[in-house]
């Protein structure tokens, strides 16, 4: 059986071959047509209009030469850079190539735009140096913008302290426009080394009461960053702080107030101006035994939400999707406040009559934000991502189809995966 290095080398060779094929079958004909068109300008145009004619001819070829570069590790490259994506992007006039971490950027350029999902200090420093030498390079999402959502202590800061208020666009002669408020849930951080009495104090001061959700404080992709535990009572909080009996789940954590929400979670994917709403089954209490990875006393650790059962429970009463104007308005306001193009967030619609558990005036809650999420799981991912990439280069595909800015569907999550 081939080892990881051999598989990675094989994949890279296949990727290079595919890019070469796209160059020959998609891009070279565009270049040829651009040059022939320019030659015809010399025969048919007056001196006054010849240059404008040539510029227009070359526009298509120049757009096709636009290079979008992605700096991601081999694992993410296999997930994101599928052959269909490379071909679809090429048809939109964007050529994607992989930037190899560990090889000097100066040897791999020039670049027009760079997408990245490598979070290492040395990479950050190298990219900053390269940008200073090449100010024309556009890096999608800066490290300074990404860093705050790598910690749950700062992840939801754009929604604090008063949330985000959204108002429906009013149409003349119709009913009054609706207004909704989207907030962060009640939450407190429990740092490493915190005493039991201190943890109980901060929870009480926040007005929180069991059950709680405990999530690792760090959300930067490190092992265990997507962990989730349910704390059912005060004894469970003591157990968590003292670290008794739990494997692989320890302080520091972010403790969130659990809110009843009908067992339905809305995962909103953002790609610049494009917004995709996905309805998924979510955590309910009592927890389905199949979703529990370990149970010790009053604490249960839970499988990742994305691996929950593929169908909504039959006893769940759904209120329907949030209105499109809420989803798009919230996505673009978070995009503005975060300063990011590539992220997703988890949205809940709290069930009624939960005084003390739901912040005042909150119609919806954003409970989590992730950078550069698993877009490849979305149906028609290649088309959506290619449309987004084309927005980075307006000249890449002149006369293309209109941008589709909102997509909504229900998605069956991946098969159940339990941590050992």
From residue 97, alpha-carbon distances to 15, 88, 110, 245, 393 in Å are 9, 14, 11, 47, 16
Closest CA to 87 of 24, 140, 139: 24
Q: Is 239 in contact with 298 (CB distance < 8 Å)?
A: yes
**H or E element: which one contains 50?**
helix 47-64
Residue 347 has pLDDT above 90, yes or no: yes
From residue 126, alpha-carbon distances to 98, 131, 149, 251 in Å are 16, 9, 22, 33
What does pTM read for this prediction?
0.79
Cross-strand pairs, 166: 180
Query: HSE on the CB side for 276, CA within 13 Å?
Result: 26
Mean pLDDT on 312-337: 81
**Cross-sheet strand order for the sheet of 113-116:** 94-98, 66-71, 113-116, 138-139
What tokens were used for 238? 């003591």
R_g of the chain computed on alpha carbons: 25
Band (226; pLDDT cuts 50, 70, 90): confident
Class of domain 4-140 (CATH, top level): alpha beta
Cα gap 336→130, rounded to integer Å: 26
Residue 308 has pLDDT above 50, yes or no: no
Percent of the chain with pLDDT over 90: 48
Whether domain 149-373 has CATH 3.30.470.20: the reply is yes
Cα gap 64→354, rounded to integer Å: 55
Say which range, 22-36, 99-113, 336-350, has the weakest mean pLDDT: 22-36
Q: Is 187 in contact with 368 (CB distance < 8 Å)?
A: no
From residue 239, alpha-carbon distances to 185, 225, 311 in Å are 23, 20, 33
What residue spans define the domains of the chain?
A: 4-140, 149-373
Residue 404 has pLDDT above 80, yes or no: no
The Cβ of residue 386 has, within 10 Å, a number of other Cβ atoms equal to: 23
Closest CA to 187 of 164, 162, 213: 213
Q: pLDDT at position 61, please?
A: 45
């Amino acid at each position: 059986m081939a080892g990881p290095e051999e598989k990675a080398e094989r994949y890279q060779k296949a990727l290079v071959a595919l890019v070469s094929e796209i160059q020959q079958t998609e891009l070279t004909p565009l270049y040829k047509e651009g040059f022939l068109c320019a030659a015809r300008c010399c025969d048919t145009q007056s001196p006054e209009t010849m240059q404008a004619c040539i510029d227009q001819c070359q526009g298509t070829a120049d757009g096709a030469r636009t290079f979008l570069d992605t700096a991601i590790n081999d694992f993410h490259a296999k997930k994101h850079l599928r052959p269909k994506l490379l071909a679809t992007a090429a048809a939109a006039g964007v050529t994607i190539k992989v930037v190899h971490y560990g090889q000097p950027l100066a040897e791999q350029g020039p670049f027009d735009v760079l997408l990245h999902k490598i979070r290492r200090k040395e990479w950050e420093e190298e990219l900053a140096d390269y940008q200073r030498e090449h100010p024309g390079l556009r890096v999608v999402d800066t490290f300074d913008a990404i860093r705050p959502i790598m910690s749950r202590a700062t992840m939801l800061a754009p929604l604090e302290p008063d949330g985000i208020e959204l108002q429906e666009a009013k149409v003349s002669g119709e009913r009054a426009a609706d207004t909704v408020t989207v907030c962060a849930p009640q939450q407190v951080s429990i740092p490493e080394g915190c005493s039991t009495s201190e943890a109980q104090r901060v929870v009480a001061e926040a007005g929180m009461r069991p059950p709680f959700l405990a999530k690792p404080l760090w959300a930067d992709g490190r092992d265990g960053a997507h962990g989730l535990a349910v704390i059912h009572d005060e004894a469970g909080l003591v157990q968590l702080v003292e670290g008794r009996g739990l494997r692989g789940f320890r302080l520091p954590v972010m403790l969130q107030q659990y809110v009843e929400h009908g067992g339905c979670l809305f995962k909103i994917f953002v790609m610049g101006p494009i917004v995709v709403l996905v309805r998924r089954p979510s955590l309910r209490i009592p927890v389905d035994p199949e979703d529990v990875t370990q149970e010790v006393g009053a604490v249960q650790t839970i499988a990742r939400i994305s691996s929950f059962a593929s169908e909504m429970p039959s006893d769940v009463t759904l209120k329907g999707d949030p209105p499109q104007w809420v989803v798009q308005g919230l996505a673009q306001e978070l995009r503005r406040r975060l300063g990011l193009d590539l992220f997703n967030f988890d949205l809940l619609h709290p069930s009624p009559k939960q005084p003390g558990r739901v912040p005042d005036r909150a119609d919806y809650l954003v409970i989590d934000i992730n950078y550069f999420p698993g877009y490849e799981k979305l149906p028609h991912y290649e088309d959506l991502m290619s449309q987004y990439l084309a927005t980075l280069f307006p000249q890449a595909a002149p006369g293309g189809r209109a941008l589709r800015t909102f997509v909504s569907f229900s998605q069956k999550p991946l098969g159940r995966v339990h941590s050992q």
